[in-house]
Amino acid sequence: AGLGAGASLLYGVIMNLWHVIGFIRPLTGTTVLAAYAAGLPFDLAHAASTAVFLLALGRPWIARIDRIRRKYGLDAQIDTM
């Protein structure tokens, strides 16, 4: 869940950078800081909800993926020689 929350925050940083580069004029330290501050509540909510959903649903999803992987032999080693 922690990795998911961290990935969500990283996604927010990247998307906020895209917003700053594409839409913020004039591009100053103050406007960049304001844009990141405006996105912070959404980014935190996104990270928290990702962590909650991963805690609640992560194990069942992994169990299903493992079952499908075993069923179709997707965990077999590939001989490249």
Q: What is the pLDDT of residues 23-78, one digit of tens each?
A: 999 999 999 999 999 999 999 999 999 999 999 999 999 999 999 998 998 876 66
Inside any domain, residue 65: yes
Q: Is the peptide bond before 26 cis (omega within 30 degrees of 0)?
A: yes
Number of domains in the chain: 1
Radius of gyration over alpha carbons of the chain, in Å?
A: 19
Q: What is the pLDDT of residue 75?
A: 77
The domain of 64 spans 2-71
Q: What is the pLDDT of residue 80?
A: 67
Inside any domain, residue 30: yes
Inside any domain, residue 76: no
Spatial distance between the Cα atoms of 17 and 32, rounded to a whole number of angstroms: 9
Q: For the range 20-29, what are the long-range contacts, defined as Cβ-Cβ under 8 Å and sequence gap of 24 or more?
A: none
Inside any domain, residue 18: yes
What single-letter DSSP state applies at residue 77? P
Q: What is the pLDDT of residues 10-29, one digit of tens each?
A: 999 999 999 999 999 999 99
Inside any domain, residue 77: no
